[in-house]
Structure 1
Amino acid sequence: MTDTALITDSEACAPSASHAMGLDAATAVAGTLKSLSDPLRLRMLSAIATDPRGEACVCDLAELADVSQPTVSHHLKVLKETGMLLSERRGTWVYYRIAPARRGAVTALLDAFAPAAALDTTEDDAERAEALQAMDGRVTHLAEELADELSDLNRDLVTAIVRESYAGLVRSAKLTQHMIPLTERFARQRLADLTRDRSAGVPQVLFVCVANAGRSQLAAALVNQLAGGTVIARSAGSTPASDVHPHVRSLLVEIEGEQEAETAFPKPLTDDAVRAADVVVTMGCGDVCPIIPGVRYEDWAVGDPALASPDGVAAIRDDIESRVRELLATLTEGTNHD
């Protein structure tokens, strides 16, 4: 190979390398990730981020593990040195909160990366590809059936919604054999959203988190159980997971019954769902929800049951139920939500 050829090959590779993270930035990020490599530190960060007060003291965090308060203080010092936390002494206790500049990074870590890492999403790629090749005809048939059934709606609109619903679900779906019935359910929801008049009918609440595999599913199930039909709840995710987390599905069985719980599935967030809602409750998904006039927005800082211990899952369920009861009290009058 000539020197000219070597130069040409080097120049061809240069643009990709030049887009890589710089050394200083990589060093800073690596230091932060190293500080988070301890499981107890991650649990502390999660506890602080999801505390309703927006902060936690050493005495609160010492309950996470059977360690001394000096050990807790050491771990918190490591997180503080990397800029993740700010602290303030009040009397004999020091309180910690997430640094505002790092809140987006902490949210992404706890609400997107961590659940994805905890869930097993492995599958047979060859089998999946073969199944998807045969799916197009079934999606077309489903669209035709729904268009015939919903004859009062524009046929092209129904077809488009069915295909968009399929495309939105298949990106994260784990089991392709269930794709057609899931697509039908999601498409029917979207078509109902498109035609809903928020000035009429019972109030509707939309719960939104990142994966729609934990908190938002649980909150929607609790609303539907406690409201007894006086309020309807839905859920969605900004980046849906492939399946509802097993910890949460077991809770859904207790709340909704086995049949309903087994058919729960993560759904992508759509503008139509937001427009159809009277209240949108975000749960760690940041600013992904479009702002629609007339829609009431709330943000709930609650832990993720997909990442919690059994005791933590129970505490999170109780926290969400308490918030749900308060929400229902603002949406209905003269109804006993027991």
Structure 2
Amino acid sequence: MQSDSLAASNAESHAIGLDAATAVAGTLKALADPLRLRMLSAIATSSGGEATVGDLATLTEVSQPTVSHHLKVLRDVGLLTAERRGTWVWYRIEPAYRGAVTTLLDRFAPATIDLRPDEHHLPGLKNVDHELDSLATSLAERIPGTTLEECLQVVRESYAALARRGGLATHLVPLTEHFARQRLVDVVKARETDEHVPQVLFVCVANAGRSQLAAALMHHYAGDRVVVRSAGSTPAADVHATIRGLLAELGDPDSADDVPYPKPLTDDAVRAADIVITMGCGDACPVLPGKRYEDWAVGDPALASPSGVAAIRDELDARVRALLADLLPV
């Protein structure tokens, strides 16, 4: 009896409080509708961060009063704010909820769509110390301006960062070689003072969709005239299947053996970049002096319909070409 009482006490101390659970459940209940989730994502990724009932009515065949009802449900739980300007009411994400909405749309939602479940159960190497040491020695010989000690540190950090994101464990060492080499090149470049090729870093949360596609588009148009990198503040295990075909068509500059993979965001990548483009990663990207930062509000292709993916690609294409024209004026 005493052990049962102790177990109950431990459970109570670890469980979320009843009041908090009731509040969270109410918000989750309001979100438990496909149309409301689509409207929330449309508002969050719109260019101005806001939308009207008329804008959102294009997502479905229901009437505008029905859309207004769904928006009221989201407003009642505090997720949305509304402002009347003239004859229109504009809806925005409540500022206090922006981080939570980003996590919901960029991390939780894609995780629930398990497209390739069997690929994530492959066994990894039991002992990689020898492989990592050999890799560091090889990189120190191949990359001028680096030392063996520096290469060892970057290789081990890179392997640990890639291992934490999950994914194809058997491919970790080859991916580590590519990722560590990229990081070391960035470190060397950041130390240089001479004229150099402009470098652009695209950052989103998972580095599994938007930032990968933007980097591939930039490389497609710029070639060797611009150094292109992409990264994720919380990288996913794999690139979204919805854009793999697009990356294959464009050629992915950040891939290892032509296989794109999500990469963790590192300080050295930011230091080496001249321009940092963020897409939904919030405050996770470090802000360093002397860098140009832009934030692109673009939808997530992982959750989009085929026509939505095409629209996202077109929007990124236009933004990339405009940035390139600014970087390399004719």
> How many Å apart are 1:76 and its aligned residue?
0.9
Match of 1:163 in 2: 156
Q: 1:188 aligns with which of 165, 181, 186?
A: 181
* TM-score (norm. length: structure 2): 0.91
Match of 1:271 in 2: 267
Does residue 283 of the first structure (1) align with residue 271 of the second (2)?
Answer: no
Q: 2:88 aligns with which of 77, 86, 93?
A: 93
8 A Cα contact 1:223 1:232, kept in partner: no
Match of 2:302 in 1: 306
4+ runs of 1 displaced by more than 6 Å?
Answer: 257-261
- The count of corresponding residues between Structure 1 and Structure 2 is 327
8 A Cα contact 1:51 1:301, kept in partner: yes
Does residue 59 of the first structure (1) align with residue 54 of the second (2)?
Answer: yes
Match of 1:294 in 2: 290
Q: 1:27 aligns with which of 22, 25, 30?
A: 22
Moved more, 203-212 or 256-265: 256-265
> How many Å apart are 1:242 and its aligned residue?
1.0
Residue pairs, 1:1-338, within 5 angstroms? 6=2, 10-11=5-6, 14=9, 17-120=12-115, 122-123=117-118, 127-128=122-123, 131-150=124-143, 152-196=145-189, 197=192, 200-256=195-251, 262-334=258-330
8 A Cα contact 1:212 1:236, kept in partner: yes
Letter in 2 for 1:234: R
Q: Give identity over the alignment, percent.
A: 61
Secondary structure of the equivalent of 2:82? strand
Provide the C-alpha distance between the structure 2 equivalents of 1:255 and 1:32, rounded to a whole number of angstroms: 41
Classify 1:162/1:269 alpha carbon distance in 2 versus 1 (closer, same or farther; 3 Å).
same
8 A Cα contact 2:229 2:254, kept in partner: no
Classify 1:276/1:28 alpha carbon distance in 2 versus 1 (closer, same or farther; 3 Å).
same
Classify 1:152/1:232 alpha carbon distance in 2 versus 1 (closer, same or farther; 3 Å).
closer
1:136-172 deviations in Å (ceiling 9; x for gaps)? 3322322232234346421111111111111111222
Provide the C-alpha distance between the structure 2 equivalents of 1:273 and 1:207, rounded to a whole number of angstroms: 10
1:176-228 deviations in Å (ceiling 9; x for gaps)? 23222211110100101111137521110111111100000011111111123
1:83-119 deviations in Å (ceiling 9; x for gaps)? 1111123444322111112111111111221122224
* TM-score (norm. length: structure 1): 0.89
Classify 1:19/1:199 alpha carbon distance in 2 versus 1 (closer, same or farther; 3 Å).
farther
8 A Cα contact 2:82 2:92, kept in partner: yes
1:229-280 deviations in Å (ceiling 9; x for gaps)? 2222110001111111111111112222899694111000000000000011
Letter in 2 for 1:264: P
CA RMSD of aligned residues (A): 2.4
8 A Cα contact 2:251 2:258, kept in partner: no
Letter in 1 for 2:95: P
Unaligned runs of 5+ in 2: none
Secondary structure of the equivalent of 1:161? helix
8 A Cα contact 1:121 1:174, kept in partner: no
Classify 1:255/1:125 alpha carbon distance in 2 versus 1 (closer, same or farther; 3 Å).
closer
Unaligned runs of 5+ in 1: none
Classify 1:285/1:151 alpha carbon distance in 2 versus 1 (closer, same or farther; 3 Å).
closer
Letter in 1 for 2:188: T
Provide the C-alpha distance between the structure 2 equivalents of 1:121 and 1:286, rounded to a whole number of angstroms: 28
8 A Cα contact 2:201 2:270, kept in partner: yes
Classify 1:185/1:257 alpha carbon distance in 2 versus 1 (closer, same or farther; 3 Å).
closer
Moved more, 191-200 or 161-170: 191-200
